[in-house]
Amino acid sequence: MTLRDRHILLGVGGGIACYRSAELVRLLRAEGAVVRCVMTASAEEFITPLTLESLSGEPVYRQLFALTEQHAMGHIALARWADLLLIAPATANLIARLAHGMADDLLTTLALVCEAPKMVAPAMNGSMWQAAATRRNVAQLRADGVTIADPEAGALACGEAGVGRMRTPEQLLEDVRRLLTPQRLRGQRWVVTTGPTWEAWDSVRLLTNRASGTVGAEIARVATRFGAEVTLIAGPGTPYIAGVRRVDVEGAEQMLAAALDHAADAALFIAAAAVSDYRVAEPSARKLKRGGAERVTLTLVRNRDIVAAVAAMARRPRRVVAFAAEEMAHDRASALAEGRRKLAAKGVDGIVVNDVSTMGHEGGCHGCWFTLEQPPVELQGDDKAAYAQAIVRQIIETNNRSSDGNDSCSDTAA
């Protein structure tokens, strides 16, 4: 999942978005990647080679003939070195040259001979992006197997607004991670619930919990990197994850309805949400006045168990995984026993017993994974992102072991 020691060849076209390319180099290096930059002549009008050389720690390549003079055909060697050729920014002119197979400078020559995956991040005026010629050229690149990191809408350097802004360095970093991650979940549809629920007791007040939704959101991010099509059913405050279909809900009843609607026939359903066990029986449509009352009595009714309901569906997902928040530090054996009990009672295929004994929902990064076929496996992570990666990897490994070769939740790349 990391980019450590991966070779990224970054082509930089001419455009004001070059400043984002410099930040992208920094982010890639922070991930452990080795980055070499190739600049067009137009790019040097916006940013100096020294900037990219300082950030990458590698020479910046600019002239085709400076490499072709080498006995070993340096431009060929540079193309073979790359694990990925990323061109960011790519202007309309550069896209046209790439689409037509031109090799009139170092970058286009490298693109023509490079056999590694290629990704292009366009950046241009909105009218240029919408022009018929540009659309044809982009379609040709897609047909040739090039990944296009579609530009965003927003204010453009020319003073106009529209679609044409190059994706942010952070978004491109995620695109690179996804492109270089084996697509072991391609063709699978996952549904993940995450975050807290809000149970209103009047028009402004509510009952909730400390869940942040981070682990479930990170599970969705990691599964998407592995090629899964993910629907994230998100409680309030859940982090936004690019490239993931999101269904926002508030109360447990809304989350249940969304889960039943989206989970049918899914390859995997993961119930990572911290759903309120109870809701107010008769919430007020108006704000209740405090008045002089020292106490207020609320009547609560039990919410339906979402993961158990999904596990009992007629069109049940192939795999159903539950989460259980337990205080493992106080009594580990009892917490694990409770996980086993819930595994059987809910009719699920696996359960993650999440340790919330030390820092509550906001800090727990330890747990155990259970399935019906194997003993518990300890899962840990230095942070919630690493914890989510461990969970997804365990799911993939478990599916591989239990698959008979016909299960749609098996590793499709195996």
Say how far apart CA 292 and CA 108 lie, in whole Å: 77
Calculate the alpha carbon distances from 304 to 134, 299, 309, 318 in Å. Answer: 52, 16, 8, 21
The answer for residues whose C-beta is within 8 angstroms of residue 127's C-beta and 6 or more apart is 162
* Helix, strand, or coil (residue 374): strand
Whether 164 contacts 124, CB under 8 Å: yes
Whether 280 contacts 291, CB under 8 Å: no
Say how far apart CA 232 and CA 194 lie, in whole Å: 7
The answer for residues whose C-beta is within 8 angstroms of residue 183's C-beta and 6 or more apart is 226, 227, 412, 413
Say how far apart CA 100 and CA 397 lie, in whole Å: 43
Q: Taken in order 177, 179, 185, 187, is the CA torsion positive or negative?
A: positive
Q: Which residues are paired to 243 by β-bridges?
A: none
Category of 354 on φ-ψ map: left (φ > 0), alpha (ψ -120 to 50) or beta: beta
Instruction: Specify whether 368 is catalytic.
Output: no
Peptide bond into 89 cis (omega under 30): yes
Cβ atoms within 10 Å, residue 164: 25
First to last CA, the chain: 17
Which of 18, 37, 114, 158 is catalytic? The answer is 158
Q: For residue 7, give the H/E element and its range.
A: strand 7-12
* R_g (Cα) of the chain, nearest Å: 25
The candidate with the shortest Cα–Cα distance to 152, out of 119, 129, 177, is 129
* Helix, strand, or coil (residue 186): coil
Find the largest Cα–Cα distance for the chain.
Answer: 91
* Helix, strand, or coil (residue 194): strand
- Catalytically active residues, by annotation: 158
